[in-house]
A = this chain, B = another copy of it.
Amino acid sequence: MRVIRSVSGMQRLSLEWKRAGVRIALVPTMGYLHAGHLSLVERARKAVGSRRKVVVSIYVNPTQFAPSEDFSRYPRDLTRDLRLCRSKGVDILFVPENADMYPNPPGEEFSTYVTEEKVSRGMEGASRPTHFRGVATVVAKLFNIILPDVAVFGAKDYQQAAVVQRMVRDLNFPLRIIVSPTVRERDGLALSSRNKYLEGTRRADALVLSRAIRKARAAVSSRRNGSLSAPRLKSDLRRLIAKVPSARLDYIEFFDPGTLVPVSTVKAGVHLALAVFIGNTRLIDNARL
């Protein structure tokens, strides 16, 4: 496994590979890797086969964090990430620097952004107004630098995957997006690098997200032949979450899994997503019901 830090060095290698007909799979991450990321690496390897190349990028992208958010304290452990990627047979670990990704010479500052204006609007987009602009921009950059045939994203960031898929369709990126299932701890907690922030009893409190999903699922399956009112089910889940003193609901939404448009009645196939602060830690989760 090679570690590449320079944008031009990475792009040069990708271009060489493309000219030689080598297929490339990309797993974009912000590092501090966990079993969820590693499942994406496995999915990427499966997609392109053993003789092709798997690139993992590790980049905590500043443009997708608001000034008030956790950019500077986002967990980082490159030594461990390196070891994990090596153990998974990753070919290239791409770890660019901010000054290389967002060049800033006086008078010629970075000034181009990609914005998606429909599926990025609600939920995460409403709570974090510039988040998806940062995501779409950095993902477009990574696609142009690494030139993957396939890119693998985690379903835990469901809306992010939808924004990226829309961008790929609209801007005609010549690649395929794979969305790989959320990996969970045994007790149901969705894996996230931010789980590291959960200290003491907060770890148990964080289970309220997956508990809400289970409750919604149970409600749907107990009404197999009817449909549920979304506002009513939302209040039930709000009450469930309010029982945990450290929890503060940011949003909970039922929506069409393809268009991400909110629905007023809930039935099997509808998607649920929620964001909850556990203390100061903002966690998200989602599932198809």
Contacts and interface: CB of A to CB of B under 8 A. Distances in A.
A18 B19 CA distance: 6
B144 A258 contact: no
Contacts of A112: 114-117, 136, 166-167, 169-171
Q: What class of interface size applies to chain A in its complex with B? A: 35 or more
Interface stretch (A101-109, A215-223, A245-253, A268-276): A101-109
A170 B110 contact: yes
A138 to B, nearest CB: 10
Contacts of A110: 170
B111 A170 contact: yes
A125 to B, nearest CB: 12
A51 to B, nearest CB: 15
Nearest to A20: B21
A116 B113 CA distance: 6
A172 B111 contact: no
Interface in A151-208: 166-167, 169-174
A174 B144 contact: yes
Contact of A140 (B11, B169, B171): B171
A54 interface: no
Contacts of A76: none
A15 B174 CA distance: 8
Interface of A: 7, 11, 14-15, 18-21, 103, 107-119, 136-137, 140-141, 144-145, 147, 166-167, 169-174, 256, 258-259, 261
Closest CB pairs A-B (n = 3): A112-B170, A111-B118, A144-B172
